[in-house]
Chain A
Amino acid sequence: MMMLLRKLPWLMGTLLAVSFFTFMLVGLLPGDPAVLILGAGVSPEAIAALRLEMGLDRPLLIRYLDWLGSALTGDLGRSPMTGELVMDAILERLPVTVQLGLMAIVIALVMAIPLAMVSASFAGSKLDRVISGIGFALMSVPGFMMAIFLILIFAVTLGWFPATGWIPFSVSPLDNLRNALLPALSLAMIELALYLRLLRTDLIDTLQQDYITLARAKGMPSWRILTRHALRPSSFSLLTVVGLQLGGVISGAIIVEEIFALPGVGRLLYQSILQRDLLMVQGIVLFIATAYVLVNFIVDLCYSLLDPRVRYAG
């Protein structure tokens, strides 16, 4: 609880800075928003009128405070291009991206943990070198390349999964998973490589500790040592990396959603950037960055709640 109170001002400051940075980044984009909306060749009076209506004639700082004020109440404005409310547009597409991200992280963890345990307990063996080698190679494959070749193998050649499209979970859970599997898998592969690498080094380190030797000496079976004694301390660093890597998952989701034509937030952002829908871009960037900061803040708190060493040291 004390931890929460101590860190809260830092969180507030970061969020404020993030919002300002977002506003400036998008506010500085070239092109007059009014001209972009009305199109070229409109009379200067019409543009001036729209500028006045959108409040573009006011100073930047006032516009920022105004925007931030409504953002705090959950109002990110209305897209002049599509007429949608930005917040509604994001919330409508959010489940797709969240499902994709969660599936990717779960798949990556489910694969990384056993592989890392095998790798670490036989460190230096042929098996370890093969696993580490595959992990190393996976890190050199960009997400979009993984997605294309998964499509090639599982959609085009074998025809097991559809190459594009999305069916909501509420309509048909099975079809939803069929559609989500390939995109989630392409996201998971990169995460897998990172988790595997981290967890392997971490476990090798842990396995040399005295209490592991003690557990071995008293005759505990190796698999039990691995799962009960070795994995637990490593899970903290794994948790941190999963949190920090969320930015990578979101970045990957933008590309993967575009390739598989999934109606998620990432695709919305990409399309909005192509159409120069500034208000939409601003809203989505703020939403993503805020979510990212909050999740990492929570991970940080969990870390101190779960690990007594951090709890008492703090």
Chain B
Amino acid sequence: MPAKKHPKIESRAQKFARALQQVFGRGFGPGFWLAVFWLVIVAFCAIFADWLPLRDPLDPVIANRLNGPLSGSLLGADGLGRDIFSRLVHGARVSVVIGLTAVSIGMIVGGASGIIAGYFRGHFERALMAVLDVILAFPWLVLLLALVAFIGQSLFAISVAIGFLWIPAYARVARANTLSVVQREYVLAAKAMGASTSRILLREVLPNVIFPLLAYGLVAMGLVIIVESALAFLGLSVEAPQPTWGGMISEGKRHLATAVHVALIPSITMFVTVLSLNFVGDRVRSRFDVKESNL
């Protein structure tokens, strides 16, 4: 007689591994892994920019001014004779740091307030939604320009300003998900067992709300990079000597007629990076959607 099948009891780590496999397991296709590969390279550049054997990104070599790619250096030099490849690698740092920080700020502040609003309802929820409506009444760049003028142009300040823009979106997603989770039996069960509110929020609600938020994160990061570069293009992102992709494109604009590569190379780099983030984010999100609908 075959043994009766017991539901497998899994540890937290095993559950997590299974979730990972469900998401990353099968059939993403080569395009997906190519995009992941590119993102890994960008992240690597951002982390190790200072230790890689590169030319000084700030050192102007007059003789190299507007040199084309493969003439002396890999990608040529910009209008001041600075090495484009080295500036790209160092610029990746700004994009990655701001991308990660801004999305984290939006996710943590927006996510937390959304969960609290969705769980407790009442006055707090109404007040929060009203505040979000007011924030959303400002076009993003208008709000961002005003914020940057207010809190300055350091790497951290820019991240906070862009992160602020993301709070409404995350708060809405978190609130909507919390509203549906709170209806579930396991939350009722936890309440009936006398679990404290903080325990219910952290152990029952949060784990079920956080995945949609995280899945949204990659696409959000792509948008953050676009927003940062727009700011840099206007000369209002991280201040001058620090190379940024948007700033490089802005400088390249002056040499469009004579040396296209100065604007073209950072543009392509940024496009490929944002495209990869969108692509990977989209795939990961659709995986989560399938899982959600199966529940």
Contact = CB atoms under 8 A, between A and B. Distances in A.
Interface stretch (B95-103, B180-188, B222-230): B222-230
Interface stretch (A79-87, A171-179, A243-251): A243-251
A288 B249 contact: no
Given A156-B256, A281-B146, A255 B139 contact: no
A143 B150 contact: no
A276 B278 CA distance: 36
A122 interface: no
B130 A13 contact: yes
Interface string A226-246: 000000000000000000001
A25 interface: yes
A3 to B, nearest CB: 18
Interface stretch (A40-48, A65-73, A133-141): A133-141
Interface stretch (B65-73, B194-202, B263-271): B263-271
Sort chain A's interface into a size bin.
35 or more
A290 to B, nearest CB: 8
B145 A273 contact: yes
A26 B146 CA distance: 7
A138 B230 CA distance: 16
A26 B149 CA distance: 9
A17 B135 CA distance: 10
B140 A247 contact: yes
Contact of A149 (B143, B226, B267): B267
Given A30-B150, A273-B146, A289-B137, A144 B275 contact: no
Query: Closest 8 A-B residue pairs measured CB to CB?
Result: A251-B141, A247-B139, A140-B275, A250-B139, A140-B274, A17-B134, A142-B226, A251-B139
Given A25-B147, A255-B141, A270-B234, 18 more contacts: A14-B134, A21-B138, A26-B146, A136-B279, A139-B278, A140-B226, A140-B271, A140-B274, A140-B278, A142-B233, A156-B257, A246-B139, A247-B138, A251-B140, A254-B141, A289-B138, A292-B138, A292-B139
Interface of B: 130, 133-143, 145-147, 149-150, 222, 226, 229-230, 233-234, 236, 246, 249-250, 252-253, 256-257, 260, 263, 267, 270-271, 274-275, 278-279, 282
28 contacts: A14-B130, A17-B133, A30-B150, A136-B278, A140-B222, A140-B271, A140-B275, A144-B233, A148-B253, A149-B267, A151-B256, A152-B263, A156-B256, A246-B139, A247-B136, A247-B139, A254-B141, A254-B145, A259-B253, A269-B145, A270-B234, A273-B146, A276-B149, A281-B149, A285-B146, A288-B138, A288-B142, A292-B137
